[in-house]
Each structure stands twice: as C-alpha cells, then as structure tokens.
Amino acid sequence: MTTASTPPAQPAPPLPLATGRLVLRTVLASDGAAIGAYCADPEVTRYLPFAALDAEGLAERMARLVAATAPSVPGESLCLAVLHDDVLVGDVMLRLTDRHGPQDPPAIGELGWVFSPEYAGRGFATEAARALVDLAFTHYPLHRLMARLDPRNVASARLCERLGMTREAHTREDYADRDGTWSDTAVYGLLRREWAGS
C-alpha cells in the first residue's frame, strides 16, 4: 500500500534482454552449478566483496540472486544471468541506492558484474553491462549510475571506461579486506545526460 510518505512501487523491468550475442534473464535456482563454478574460483573473487564460495556461501548467494527480480526502493537489486548460446557465462547486478527526496523514486543505481574466466576476452562483460546500463536509464528514472571497485581490478576499470563512465574518486584504505588489511576504492560514475548523449 502506498502512503503519503512512500513513493509508488516501480514496475518490474521488461525481461529478458537480448543483445547481439547475449540473453540477460532473471537468475534461476538451476543456475547454481554454473554460477558456483566461477564464484568458487579465488582469482574470480579476488577483488569482490565476497570470498570464493563454498556450498553454504553459494546457497546464500543464489537465494539473493534468484529473489532479485524487481527492485523498487533503495537497497533492492536486479540480478541477471548472462547467457551466450544458452550457456551461462556470468551475471550482472543493478542495485538501487539513493533517492532525491523521501517520496521520490530511486535516483542512483550501482552496477556490478561477475564473469567466468573461461569466456574472458570476448567482450561479453562489456556487452552485458551496456545492456544493463540502457535498461537502468530507460526503465528507472535514475539520474546517475556508479560502480565501486578495487583499483587493482584493472579489467573492471577498463570495462567502466568502455561504458563511458568517468573515474570520479579514489578513496584510500576505506574497505576492510578479508585478510585484515585495508584496500582502496575507485568510484566511477555515469550521468543520465552523458548516457543520453552517447
């Protein structure tokens, strides 16, 4: 129920998305084996906010991914499986983060992605992320998209640049690593008017 202080719910996004080579659809429970294969790889998760997943960690992540289908308010996410020729090659995420005012719809979103190294170097991550950016700006009244990543994650930084994002900040030792050390964060941003003019 919508009240005077609650903005109306956003409709579910139109899915699946199709690009030249890929299909992006909601994550299914049956995707667990494919997602688990790359999320159990320490090299894949090296710069991610979670360690290589064991069975318990995979079950928790899959529950979150499967449920993330129709974000409407800050804190909710849309998670999509990325398929090439019916093979799952990675997953992408759009998380709604902030709104301009308490009665406004979300205005800022954050992007994330994880891909199987088996399919690296073929442009799948860029193609999928670009489709997610387009969906974010066409379906939601977002003003800004952002990505936060470890500056050592050169592949993701290059992906942000290919998406037309601007490196806006480098914050020092603001993220506690799993090994007890502190890491930096690089922040990339893309404004609606920049996307519309590209």
Q: CATH number, domain at 113?
A: 3.40.630.30
Q: How many domains does the chain have?
A: 1
- β-strands 87-99, 106-115 pairing: antiparallel
pTM of the shown model: 0.92
Output the six-digit token pair for 134. Answer: 């387009």
Provide the domain limits for residue 107. 17-146
Structural domain contains residue 191: no
CA distance 63 to 8: 26
- β-strands 77-84, 22-26 pairing: antiparallel
Structural domain contains residue 38: yes
Packing angle of the helix pair 32-39, 55-67 (nearest 10 deg): 120
Residues in the chain where the model's pLDDT stays below 70? 1-8, 102-103
Classify burial at 140, counting beta carbons within 10 Å of its beta carbon; exposed 0-12, middle 13-18, buried 19 or more. buried
Classify burial at 143, counting beta carbons within 10 Å of its beta carbon; exposed 0-12, middle 13-18, buried 19 or more. middle
Structural domain contains residue 23: yes
Classify burial at 11, counting beta carbons within 10 Å of its beta carbon; exposed 0-12, middle 13-18, buried 19 or more. exposed
Alpha helix ranges (H) inside the chain: 32-39, 55-67, 124-139, 154-162, 192-196
Output the six-digit token pair for 68. Answer: 């993330």
Structural domain contains residue 158: no
Tell me the β-bridge partners of 81: 25, 91
Tell me the β-bridge partners of 79: 93
Structural domain contains residue 47: yes
CA distance 88 to 137: 25
Structural domain contains residue 172: no
pLDDT at position 180 is 85
pLDDT at position 99 is 80
pLDDT at position 6 is 63
Task: Return the H-helix or E-strand segment holding 69.
Answer: none
Structural domain contains residue 169: no
Structural domain contains residue 60: yes
Output the six-digit token pair for 130. Answer: 């670009």
